[in-house]
Structure 1
Amino acid sequence: MPEPHEDKRPLAERIAAEIRKLIMSGEWEPGRKVPTNEVLRAQYETSNVTIQRALQILKDERFLEGQTGVGVFVRSERAQTIQPAHYIAPSEPGQPYRWLTEATKRQQRGKYRMLEVGEVVPPREVAKALRLDEGDTAMLRSRIGFLDDQPAELVYSYYPIELARGTRLADRRLIPGGSPALLHEMGYPTRSQDDAVAARPATTEEYEALEIPRDVPVIEVFRVVYSNDERPVEVTLLTKPAHRFKMGYHVEL
């Protein structure tokens, strides 16, 4: 039989992982004062140096905030749960993209900044999802979303060329109401959507654009949107910083 898999990470990293879980789960609420080094030393049976290293890791990752002469506290914001189902339906005529209106409901300021629009040869998994032949191009629309001026998501959306060329999907400007509303107007209403969610280390582009601290991973969503007759009309690669967001799903049985 194979040997049991052993956690050989430095003890400081293991302690940081335990505390990180307490924060992400809400067990340690925002603003809570972290136990003293003496208490943590006794709990984890280690040295003061190791505890300080663990806490510094979490400060660097922005899970903890130090206040000189007062102590160390859990960050003031809890991890936010994003529910993709809220954004499937197109916006009502004249209304902003649902991602923005949902932010307003949460008393947040949401905005997008376009990065790139143009015809490209898409990644292999995107081409496969759009049912393209090798070498075929797609229309790319990439953008970065902000919540309260903090980068919240990096989005790469791809559309079939024959559907997008000559439409607002090829325009560098933001689309009023977002792509679901435009596709609906064009006769391609959203009928269903498949999401594949993963976690992985950030690329350099993601690290810089999303202001990822230290080695925090990103949440990656690979989304395929289908219209009538199960035709794929949009494929989106979306990444979010995992120290600030969770993905939430509600399933009716």
Structure 2
Amino acid sequence: MPKAEETAVDRRPLHERIAADLRDEIMSGDLAPGDALPSTQRLKDRFDASNATVQKALQLLKDERLVVGRAGAAVTVREHRQETVRPADTGLPAAAGEPYPLLTAAAAKGRRAAIDLLEVAEVTPPAEVAAALRLDADGTAFLRRQLLSYDGEPAELVRAYYPADLARDTALSVPRKIRGGAAALLAGLGHAPARTLDRVSARIPTQEQYGALLLPTDLPVLRTFRVVLDGAERPVEASVLVKAGHLYELEYAFA
């Protein structure tokens, strides 16, 4: 067993290590939105790096949409560097005539949210989804695959699954957006969401996630596996929600 003071050797290229340290300072707020990053010379001295290596590190951060810069000007932290998402703000049914809660929550922050419905199909779901929905071995579910964006930038890829016997012949099975969201529809069907279980992990993105979220590198994504139960403790939805890990964080409040 290694001793407590022992650490692994960081074998990443130097530009990736520099980007990692600066990324942490940006995400923790030590470098705030609008702040200029240290000059190239200061970064060269700090990390004992060449000019080319520092520029490669800064380019990574630009590609990750954390900083902005142009030739002859300082590189600065983007205004929207990391978004805090509160699942409690968006998990409830919308009031009659009101838009999907995610759109309302985004507008309250001065941001423009959009939801693109990519696919609706009856499928054999992944094993973890089938288990969460308590489906039989040959059970199926309706998949609604969506891409959420903020201010025109992809933010979250969602795969939401609903038991086929519950969703069939309802708006959940139709390739159209649902006014007020699925939670409002489920409530109208007598299965109002009463309890939500989230399991959050960090993973390397799949090819689909990498492409849909326009990820610049193989930085981990933030993956939430969510199960929604109604008042009778029946699972009525199981979803996989994936966000870019360096751009989003989750906030949960416990009473």
Whether 1:81 aligns to 2:84 is yes
CA-CA distance at 1:191 after TM superposition: 0.9
Q: Aligned runs of 1:1-253 on 2, under 5 Å?
A: 1-2=1-2, 4-252=7-255
CA shift at 1:49, angstroms? 3.3
Q: Deviations 1:7-61 (Å, cap 9, x if unpaired)?
A: 2222221111110001111210112111112211222233333322322222222
Two-structure CA RMSD over aligned residues (Å): 1.5
Per-residue deviation, 1:202: 1.6
The DSSP-based 3-state class of the residue aligned with 1:43 is helix
CA shift for structure 1 position 145: 1.3
> Matched residues, percent identical?
46
Range with greater deviation from structure 2 (98-107 or 2-11): 2-11
| Greater Cα shift, 34-43 or 224-233 | 34-43
TM-score (norm. length: structure 1):
0.94
Q: Distance in 1 between matches of 2:7 and 2:81?
A: 35
Retained in 1: the 8 A contact 2:65–2:81?
Answer: no
Amino acid at match of 1:188: H
Give the match's secondary structure for 1:133.
coil
- Any stretches of 5+ residues in structure 2 without a counterpart? none
Once the 2 structures are TM-superposed, how far is the Cα of residue 221 of structure 1 from its aligned partner? 0.7
Q: Cα deviations across residues 107-151 of structure 1 (Å, max 9, x unaligned)?
A: 222221111112100000000000112221111111111211211
TM-score by length of 2: 0.93
CA distance in 1, matches of 2:236, 2:110: 32
Deviation at 1:203, TM superposition (A): 1.6
Contact 1:110-1:148 at 8 Å conserved across structures:
yes
Count of aligned pairs: 252
The runs of 5 or more residues in structure 1 that have no matched partner are: none
8 Å contact 1:26–1:78 — kept in the other structure? no
